């Protein structure tokens, strides 16, 4: 099953239904239930293209070991189902993704990449966040989740880039915490590539 054209609906906290013109979604063809793994949409307010990689489309280290990660189903308000990854316990926290700038991001627009996550228990994650552009330029920043709220979805911003000719190609991004401490209580929903909001 290839690209599937969906009707209008919410994108799981990324934007609201009235903010979207359309989107296409990709579902995995081998799973018994065809959970959505990718989404492309146009934001109605900004008229700019956006792209979402849900957790199943990300490379999460040890995600296939039920001792470390648990996959659960989340039903969106639109009725669609996605899978989210809950961190049970791990020392080596490593989540990676990639996409091609040729997926028709809006030219000349400054984009940001964010992870959408939820914390269900307090833990001082000290994250290293990285974007690698097609020209091999690396953007890196650090962030602690110590002060983040429990029980609510929030964004972790990795960085930003301008959609220019030199940025057409494969981009990689990652979230890491390799400290030798056991970590738990983080739920990963998706990564979003979206236009950076202009200051009010």
Say which CATH number the domain at 106 has.
Answer: 2.60.120.260
In a domain, 161, yes or no: yes
In a domain, 24, yes or no: no
More confident residue, 63 or 16: 63
Average per-residue pLDDT for the chain? 82
In a domain, 29, yes or no: no
Coil, strand or helix: which one is 165? helix
More confident residue, 106 or 133: 133
In a domain, 84, yes or no: yes
Domain count, the chain: 1
In a domain, 80, yes or no: yes
In order of 76, 110, 112, 195, the CA distances from 198 in angstroms are 27, 10, 12, 9
Q: How far apart are CA 195 and CA 15, in angstroms?
A: 12
More confident residue, 5 or 68: 68
Task: Find the mean pLDDT for residues 64-76.
Answer: 94
Could you list the residue range(s) of the whole structural domain that residue 128 is in? 59-195
What's the pLDDT tens digit per position in 131-153? 999 999 999 999 999 989 999 99
């Amino acid at each position: 099953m290839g690209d599937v054209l969906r009707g209008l609906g919410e994108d799981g906290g990324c934007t609201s239904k009235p903010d979207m013109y359309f989107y296409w979604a990709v579902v995995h063809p081998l799973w018994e239930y065809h959970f959505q793994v990718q989404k492309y949409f146009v934001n109605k307010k900004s008229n700019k293209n956006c792209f979402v990689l849900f957790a199943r489309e990300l490379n999460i280290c040890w995600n296939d070991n039920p001792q470390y990660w648990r996959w659960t189903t989340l039903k969106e308000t639109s009725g669609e189902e996605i899978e989210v990854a809950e961190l049970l316990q791990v020392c080596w926290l490593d989540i990676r993704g990639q996409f091609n700038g040729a997926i028709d991001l809006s030219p000349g627009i400054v984009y940001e990449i964010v992870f959408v996550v939820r914390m269900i228990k307090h833990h001082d994650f000290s994250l290293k966040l990285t974007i690698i552009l097609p020209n091999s330029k690396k953007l890196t920043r650090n962030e602690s989740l110590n002060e983040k709220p429990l029980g609510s979805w929030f964004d972790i911003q990795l960085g930003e880039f301008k959609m220019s000719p030199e940025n057409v190609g494969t981009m990689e991004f990652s979230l890491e915490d390799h400290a030798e401490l056991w970590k738990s209580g983080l739920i990963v929903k998706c990564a979003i590539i979206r236009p950076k909001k202009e200051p009010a």
